[in-house]
Structure 1
Amino acid sequence: MFRVEDKTLLQLQRSLEVVLSCCSSPVGAPRCGASLHDLNKAFRIDLNANATCVWQIQRNVNQTIRLVFSYFQFAPSSSCETESIKIYDGPSTNSPLLGQVCNDTDAVPVLHSSSDSLTFLITTNSAAFARSFFVYYYFFPAEAKNENCGGELTGPNGTITSPNYPAPYPEFTYCVWHIETAKNSKIKLQFQDFFLELDKTCRFDFTAVYDGLATNTGLIGKVCGRTQPTFESSSNLMTLVLSTDYANSYRGFSAQYTSVPLPAPVEPDTFLTCTSESMKIVLSKSYLASLGYNETQLQLNDPSCRPLVTDSVIFSFPLASCGTTKKDEGHSITYTNIISLSATGSVITRQKNIEIIAKCKMENNSTLEVIYITKNNVIQNTTATGSYNVSMSFYDSDSFSQPVHQSPYYVDLNQNLFAQVSLHSTDPNLLVFVDTCIASPQADFGSPTYDLIRSGCKKDDTVVTYPPLKHYGRFKFNAFRFLRSFPSVYLQCDIVICDSNATESRCTQGCVSRQKRALPTHTWKTNTVVGPIRLKRDLRSAGHSESLTRADAEEMPNLQQYNFYTLSFVVLISNIIIVVAVILKYHKRQAGHGYQKIQSSY
C-alpha cells in the first residue's frame, strides 16, 4: 500500500531537518493549493498575507481519509473570521463543512472524512507575517478507524501502553484513550518510558493530552522524542491521543494514571453558572469594592436587566435575553453577555473601565464549569461550559398532548408508538433534529440492536417523522418485539441541536447518505434513552401453542396462584349453596306433608 522509496526519502529529509535545524519543505510540496491523489502524503505549507489556497484530496479507493494538522502558525493578531483553515467533507468547498482550524484552536486537529475525498481551504489576512503549517493525510479502511487501540478507562488508577510496546509502534497509528475517575478527583498521568520520533514541533509522531473527554479543545500538552512528561487534569476526565505517520517508529510509551482527591471548593469572588435555560453571574461585594465599584455601577448589555442584591450581586436571566449574543463556534454554541462597570464622575476619574465578559459554551454532553480571571487586566473573562437539557418521552397519540408516564410501557404488537424529543431551553432560535435512533432489548444497548433511523434516514418501513416544531423532534413507529424471547425494547436516539439561523446546518440536511458525513463534528450533539417497552399479555391465548416469553414465564406463577384462589372460592360457594338447598328441602317436606297408614283389604 505504501511505497518504500517514499518512506526512505522522508526519513532522510527528517534527519537533515534535525541535524541542520532547517524547515525545508519536502520536494514537490505544493505552495498554494493542489489536487492530491497519493494514498498518503506529508508536506509543509508556507503562506504570506492575502492568500486563498485550496487543496483537494481525492482517490477512488473507497476508503476514509484521516487528515492531521500537526503544526500550524497563523498571524498572532488574526481571528477565526479573518484567517483560518476550513475543512470540507467532499471534493469541493461546496461540500459540508467538517471543521475549522484557526488561531484560537486549542487542540491538535485530526479530522476524518466520510468518503474518499476531502478539501481544505486556507485563507490569510493582510498582516505581514510568514505563516507555516504542516499537514499529513492517509487513506485507511473505515472499519479500522481506531486501529484496535485506545478505549475507556474508569478505575482509580491504571496503565496505558502504546501498541506493540516495547516493540516499535505500527505506522499510521491513531489511538484515543478516555480516562474517567471518581467525582471530586483529578487525574495525574505520568510516563515512565517515552520514546517517539524526535522533532522540535512534534509534526510527525506525537501524543496529545486533553483536559476532558473531547479532542477538539482543552489541550494540556503535545509531546514527542525522548522524555518523561507528567500531566494533570482539572477534573476527573482526561483524554490521551497517540498519532503516528509511516516513518521512523520507536518503542512508544508506558504511562500510569492515578486519581488525586480535589481540595474542597473555595468560594470565588465571581462565578458563572450555565444551564439549558439561563445564565447566572454572581459577584461578591468585596470583589467589587476591591475594584473601587459598587452594585449601582453595574449593567449588562441590556441596562434594563438589573441584578438582585443580597450578600452578593446576582445577575440571572434567560439565555436569549438581556442583550445576550449567540455564536456558533464550530464545536460549540456560545452565549455571551458583558457586565460593564461604569466609572463615576462627570469630567475625570481614577477608576479603570472594567468589563466582565461572561460566556456560556454549550458543548457536547459537557457539564464542567471553568472560570478564567485575568487579575491584572482591564478585561475580566469568565467562561462556563454547560449542556442543553434534552429528554424523550412516548405520547398516546399524534397530538403529542398526553405523555405516557407508566414504566414499563405495555403496548400491543404493531401498535403505533409516538415519540417526542424535547429541548428545554429559553433560546427560541434552536432546532432539534433526530439523527439516529436504535432499539435494543437491553438497557446497555448491547447486541442485538435494530436501526429505526440512521443518519436522518428511515431504516424501518413503519417510521414516520414529523416536521420540526420549535424545540421538538417527533416521529412514530409500530411496536415490535425482538426474537429469542427478549421481553423488553429500549430506544436510544442521537440528537443534533443547531442554530435555526444557520441555513447549512445538519438540522436542515435531513437524510444523509454514506457519501456525506452523517454527523459533523462541529454540531452540538447528545443522546437520550427511553424504555422499556413491553407487549401486553392476552390471557385468552394462554392455551395456544406459541411459546411463552421470559416475561410471561415470570408472570405465570402469579396467574396460577390467582386461578387457584378463584377456583377454591367457587367450590366453597357451591358447597354452601348445596347444603342450604338440602336443609330447605327437608324443612319443606316436614311442613307440607304427613304420613298415613294404608288400610289393608284383608
Structure 2
Amino acid sequence: MEVAGRLFLWTVLAASCGAQLNSTVAEGRSKCTASVGGANLGETHKALILQPNADENCTWTIERPENRSIRIIFSHIQLDPDGSCESENIEVFDGSSTDGPLLGKACSKNDFVPVFESSSNSLTFQILTDWTTIQRSVFIFYYFFSPGTLVPNCGGYLQALEGSFSSPNYPKPHPELAYCVWHIQVEKGYKIELKFKELFLEMDEHCRFDFIALYDGPSTTSGLLKQLCGRGQPTFESSSDSMTVVLSTDYANSYRGFSASYTSVYIEDVNTTSLSCASDKMRVIISKSFLQSLNYNENNLQLNDPTCRPSVSNVIEFSIPLHECGTIKKIEDHTITYTNKISFTKAPMSALITRQKHLQIVVTCEMEYNSTVEILYITEDDIIQNESALGKYNTSMALYDSSAFENRLQDSPYYVDLNQTLFVQVTLHTLDPNLVVFLDTCQASPTPDFASPTYDLISSGCSRDETCEVYPLFGHYGRFQFNAFKFLRHMNSVYLKCKILICDTDDPTSRCNQGCVSRRKRDISPYKWKTESVIGPIRLKRDRSASGNTGLLPQTHEAEISNQPLSHLRLFSFMVLVLNVLVVAVAAVKYFVNQRMDHRYQKLQVY
C-alpha cells in the first residue's frame, strides 16, 4: 500500500507539473488572430511569440505603472519577405491606442533590430499582414524600467584610436534587463576592426533573448552588420570611422557576457600624415603615396632612436612609446609635453648635389586639462603645417577586498555591511614610470548623477571623514579606505566619484607633492592635468532580498521555445528525487520515535 500510495503521489505531481509547463508555454506563445484582436498586457516584463495569419490587423496595448518607462524589443521578425512595408508591417504608438504619436515602424526589410521606448503610461503596437499565405513569426520582449537607474559600465563613447570594453559585471554573469549602447568613433581616414576576445550569451537560433547587435555606423539605424549570441570569438570590420555595439538582455539565463577590443585601421587617401596621442604612446601614420612623391620609401625613415622601426602595410605606421625611442619629455608651467622627430636619411656624404626635399616631421603630445592635446609639425623647405586633436586620460576606479589591493571586486552592485572597511583604488593606465596619481577630491552620493546630497570623503587632498585614510603617493595608483555608511532618508545605494591630478615626480613644486592643503591657505592656479572616475552602487547586505532577483541565477523563460520534453524529464526526475528523500526521512523519524516510545513504556514482567 505504501508503494502504491507513493506511485500515485508521483503521478499526480508529474501531471500537475506538466500542466503548469504547458500553461506557461501557452501564455508566452500567442497567436495574433482577427478574432482575438490583440490584448492588454500589464506584466512588468513579458516575452511573446506572435504567429500572425494572412490578412491580420490586430493591436496590443501595454500599460505601465507610474514613474516607469516601457522598452519594447522586436528581436526577430519573420514576415513576408516579398511584401512591401506598407502592406505588411508593425507600427508602434506612444499611448493607449493607434491614435497616439507614431514611434516607428518595423518590417522584414529593416536593417536593424527595432527597439522603442514610451514616455507615456502606455504603449501600443499594431501588426498588419497582407493576403500572402506564409508562416510568419514575431518575437517580442518588453519590460518596465526606471529612466534614472543606470547600470555601471553599460555603454558609453569610445573615441581613442584603440581600446577595449566588456559587458557589465564581466567575467561574472551580466545583469538582467540591460540595454547598453557603445558608440565607437575614431578619426577620419580610419575604419574600425572589432575583435571579441570572448562571447558567451544565451544560445538561440535567432538570437531572440540575450544578444549583441553590431551596426556599421554611428547609430542603431546605420545598417546591421550582425546579431550575435551563443559562444565564439568573431571579428568584424566597419566601412567607416564609426561603429555602434548594442547589448540587450532579458530576465533569465545570465552568462559571462562578452569582452571585446578594437583598433583603427588607416584608409590610405590623399592625406600625407596623421597623429594621435594616447596615455602611453603616440601614433603616426604616413601615406606611401606621399613618400613616393618625394622619392623616398619607408627605409629612409627614422626616429630619434633609429632602432625603433615602423610597421609597414598599406601605410607606414610609427607607434612611439612616450618614454622610449628617443621621446623627449619636457615639464614647464605645469605642462608635460612629449616630443619625437621623424627624419629622412640624407644622401651619402660623397654626393655633391640632391634633388630631394629635406623633410622632418616633429610630433608633440601635450598633456593639458582633462585631455591630450596633439600637435603635429611638418617642416618642408621652411614650410610648417600644424594639426591638433583631443583625447582623454585613461583612468579607472575599482573596489578591492583588502589593503593589499590584489583582488579586484567585480560584483555590481557590491553589497556590504554598515561600518565595513572598503578599499578603493584609482589607476592611471600609462607606461610613463614618472607619473603619479594624486587624489584631490572624493565624494559619495546616493544617486549616480551626484545631485544633492553629497558627502565629502576627501577634499583638497585632505581626509574629511573620520574613518577615511588616504594612502601615500604610489606611482600610477591613488588609494584610500573608509568605512561603509548609508544616506539617511534615501535609498541604500552609495556611488563614489574621485577627481584626480596627474603629476611628474621630477617636478618638486607640483600639486601632488604638496599633499593636504586647506582651502583657506590654498593659493594655487587651476591645475591642468586632471580627470575623474566614478564607481557604484554600493549597497547594504540586508537590502539584497528587497532588491529582487539580481539576474545572476538562471531562470525559466515565460516563452519557452525549445527543449520542452527535456525540461519535463528533468522536472519529473527532480520531483522523484525529492519525494524519495522525504519518504526516507519520514521513515527514519518514525523508526526512532517508535524505538523511543518502546523504551519509555516497556511493560513490567509478572512472575
Larger Rg belongs to: 1
TM-score by length of 2: 0.45
TM-score when normalising by structure 1 = 0.46
